[in-house]
Structure 1
Amino acid sequence: MTTSSRFVDIHLLQTIPYANLNRDDLGSPKSLTYGGVNRTRVSSQCWKRATRQALEDQLPDKAIRTRKVVVEVAERLCKEGWPRELADYAARQLLVAAGAKRSKSKKSNGEDEGLSLENSGYTSVLLFLPESSLDGLAALARRERGALERAYASGKEQKPPFTQEEVRNLLIGRTGTIALFGRMLAELPDGKVDGAVQVAHAFTTHATDTEVDFFTAVDDKLSSDETGSGHMNSAEFSAGVFYRYATVNVRDLIDNLDDDAAVARGLTERFLSAFATAMPSGKRTATAPHTLPDLAYIAVRSDRPVSLAAAFERPVRAGWEAGGLAEPSRQQLADYASVLHEMWGTDGIAYHGHVSIDSKPFDSLGNKLSSFRELVIAAVDTAFRDRG
């Protein structure tokens, strides 16, 4: 068994009751066909967003994804007493200094050509940047207020009084969540960050059917001779045991953080905890689907990430004796891991362990620990053992 580690894989089994965490364009729970049967699915983007938001609550410098950089900077300036028109002008000039075009243009093949500003002040693409960068941009405007006032008063198009480098450095700044999840920003040089985390779409370990819930709303101000409802509609829901999987590339995360292994370690711990406990917000006020995983299995690997999704290509069926799908799902995951380890060996596994609601351990999933916190610490200790 090797001690050189690069990947931290986390596998979760989580029972979700009647819910609709992630809808398609028609309002139905997202789905997929796998193993010849229909399953309920929650997209990776959906659970990543919930995880990122949970992480942001724990980090000092939050990241935001927005097209409203101009609007946000102008609001900051207005709160300092700047006239609205001057604040809007200054915020636009900041983006122009970074290379944004003043009106949206297209290449001859119809593709967007670089970063541009729409008439509304919105950027042509979503920018993913530290929230503190908005304060930094406002500080640049404050520094050059005199030049901005003169340029605005002239009524002529003027070169912005900022250097391209100082504005771009703020726009392409990084936070912990940007280092983890990455950033697609081809419009600005050096703006792209390859994410260190990969997240799979969650899906039920078994076949599911969508349930249609017909509901009405009563008009509280109906007169005594009026009957009926004030509103009628229907919504779709499902329930099931979900297999969830994500992996952290430790080496890439350290690279994204300029070789700061200590910060990378803390982020890895926080990510594993946030991923396990975060819950998408879809229909939550109507369903309150706030469960926690029944089983968590973490493996630290030196070779490559390994998903155990194929454990459920054959859909789980309810147990003959006690019924239910959660217990046989946990057993099916452990059985699949066992045959996979026998077939391919375990040389690539530096550490693995699990926690579950079962009293018995699953030997194929490594040591059984008493708490998820212990599991995370043991895994992260191994992953960062030789990294300072």
Structure 2
Amino acid sequence: MIIELHLLQSFPVSNLNRDDVGQPKTATFGGQVRGRISSQSLKRAARLLFQRYGLAATETGVRTKRLVDKTALMLKEERGRDYDESVGVASSALLALGFGLDKRRNTLTEYLLFVGNQAVELLADYCDRDWNRLAADAAARAKAAEKKKTDAADEKKSKIKPDKQTLEAAGRILDASRVVDVALFGRMIADNKDFNVNASSQVAHAISTHAVVNEYDYYTAVDDLQPQDESGADMIGTVDFNSACYYRYANLHLDQLGTNLRGDTDLVARATRAWLEAFIDAVPSGKQNSTAALTPPETLLVVVRDKGAWNLANAFLKPVTGHDLMVTSTQELFGHFNRLRRFYGEDDLRAVVAASISADVTGLDAREVAPSRHELVSRVLAATKV
């Protein structure tokens, strides 16, 4: 079973997701430049809301390279270990578990790890249990570093293949069977594919329904303590922005979510609600302090189906034009959806629930229209129950 979420969301002056030179991201679609918000940005914005919608901290995860430092702090503050020695032990522990360290800062892992919030505590337990061996390994590595014998090749060799017992310890630390973030968005660990998790949710890059031209704001700032006899700005610069109505799409494969969460039906149900609520509210944080572009979606279409999936971006292959972009975009969205289901049939559709604040829900049955967000969410979740 699959839930599909289609949203139309208009943002005023904003730079929610910028590129390497600070401009709002764009993409060419239908031969025209569109505003774009990356799927990664939207996923992170949603992840940060999961605990607001009923998930416990222990049921959510973090993406981090700082397991060594956080584990060393726990070993110091909660278990009375020396911090500097704990850093070496935690580093040796991660190497023993098969993970590399950053060559420039050995307190960081080689890449971001997507783990549960309990990973630090579990890694600290592993360090405590095998302290003497790990401490001896840390001392040997430190001695080799002092003699300048550690080079890139040596570091690669230090990532040895863990034995069965060590793999079991790594499995406990990286266990994602109750980590909703990982169950939803998946995990890829190059050093050990056994810890990979197939994502149950797919998220598209949001694109504007119309053509967009990035603009810039020229700003000046005056020193508040500037002498009275002086004038002029003490700082000048530019900030890039655009304004756009975006089409957003995400889906959730409930069978894969159930597999990832080991069939825990209660957690699957709570994760599904959190996913739906969080993605409705997800707004990236880029430049929000200077733009406050905190506008909610105005048109929502949710489809529950047994199989298949329809991204409706082609409704906007021809850019929308006119003075009321939200109303026109809503008409194009619902029109495209209705044409698709007339052509391909509705046998796989369990439920269609829609709502629009600004436009008429043209072409939809009155029973498919929800008068409020609460009603929309309730109907969708009811349709997922077998």
Code of the residue aligned with 1:280 in structure 2: it is P
1:216 to 220, 230, 233: 220
Moved more, 169-178 or 227-236: 169-178
Tell me if structure 1 keeps the 8 A contact 2:326–2:359.
no
Larger mean CA deviation between 174-183 and 28-37 belongs to 28-37
SS in 2 for 1:33: strand
Closer, same or farther in 2 for the Cα pair 1:152/1:348, shift >3 Å?
A: closer
CA distance in 2, matches of 1:171, 1:148: 17
Q: 1:68-79 residue pairs with structure 2 within 5 A?
A: 68-79=66-77
Q: How does 1:10-49 map to 2 (within 5 A)?
A: 10-49=5-44
1:89-238 to 2 correspondence within 5 Å?
Answer: 89-100=88-99, 115-116=100-101, 118=103, 119-145=105-131, 163-174=165-176, 175-238=179-242
Measure, in 2, the Cα distance between the counterparts of 1:40 and 1:22.
10
Q: Select 2:279's aligned residue among 275, 279, 288.
A: 275
For the residues of structure 1 that align with 2:205 and 2:12, how far apart are their CA atoms? 18
Q: Is the 8 A contact 1:65 1:128 kept in 2?
A: yes
Change beyond 3 A, Cα 1:150–1:8? closer
Alignment of 1:339-378 (within 5 A): 339-358=339-358, 360-364=360-364, 367-378=368-379
Residue 360 of structure 1, CA deviation: 4.2
Deviation at 1:50, TM superposition (A): 0.5
CA distance in 1, matches of 2:90, 2:139: 16
Would the alpha carbon gap of residues 156 and 287 (structure 1) be closer, same or farther in structure 2, given more than 3 Å must change? closer
The CA RMSD over aligned residues, in Å, is 2.5
Shift of 1:263: 1.6
Q: What is the distance in 2 between the residues matched to 1:130 and 1:267? A: 15
The CA distance in 1 between the partners of 2:379 and 2:356, in whole Å, is 16
Alignment partners' CA distance in 1, 2:164 and 2:34: 54
- Which has the larger displacement, 7-16 or 55-64? 55-64
Q: CA separation of 1:153/1:208 partners in 2, compared to 1, >3 Å: closer, same or farther?
A: closer
Distance apart, 1:362 and its partner CA: 3.3
Please identify which structure carries the higher helix content: 2
Q: Do 2:183 and 2:199's aligned partners in 1 also have CA atoms closer than 8 Å?
A: yes
Give the Cα–Cα distance (whole angstroms) in 1 for the partners of residues 61 and 371 of structure 2.
Answer: 34
Report the TM-score, using the length of structure 1 for normalisation. 0.87
Residues 49-75 of structure 1, C-alpha deviation per residue, up to 9 Å, x if partnerless?
A: 101111144422131111111111111
CA gap 1:358/1:88 in 2 versus in 1, 3 angstroms: closer
1:67 corresponds in structure 2 to: 65
Which whole-Å CA distance do the structure 2 matches of 1:92 and 1:68 have between them? 11
The amino acid across from 1:141 in the alignment is C
Q: How big is each residue's C-alpha offset from its partner over 1:279-330, in whole Å with a ceiling of 9 and x where there is no partner?
A: 1000000000111111111001122111111111111111xxxx32111111
Separation in 2, partners of 1:206, 1:92 = 50
Q: Which amino acid aligns with 1:303?
A: K
Contact 1:148 1:161 in 2 (8 A): no
Residue 104 of structure 1 is matched in structure 2 by none
**SS of structure 2 residue aligned to 1:245:** strand
Contact 2:38 2:206 in 1 (8 A): yes
For 1:127, give the aligned amino acid.
Answer: L
Q: Return the alpha-carbon distance in structure 2 between the equivalents of residues 161 and 341 of structure 1.
A: 53
Q: Which runs of 5+ in 2 are unaligned?
A: 145-157
Q: Is the 8 A contact 2:92 2:137 kept in 1?
A: no
Cα distance in 2 between the residues matched to 1:347 and 1:327 = 29
| Residue in structure 1 matched with residue 49 of structure 2 by the alignment | 54
Segment drifting more, 163-172 vs 241-250 = 163-172
5+ residue gaps, structure 1, are: 1-5, 101-114
Deviates more, 1:257-266 or 1:305-314: 257-266
Q: State percent identity of aligned pairs.
A: 33
CA gap 1:183/1:92 in 2 versus in 1, 3 angstroms: same
- Between the two proteins, the alignment pairs up a number of residues equal to 362
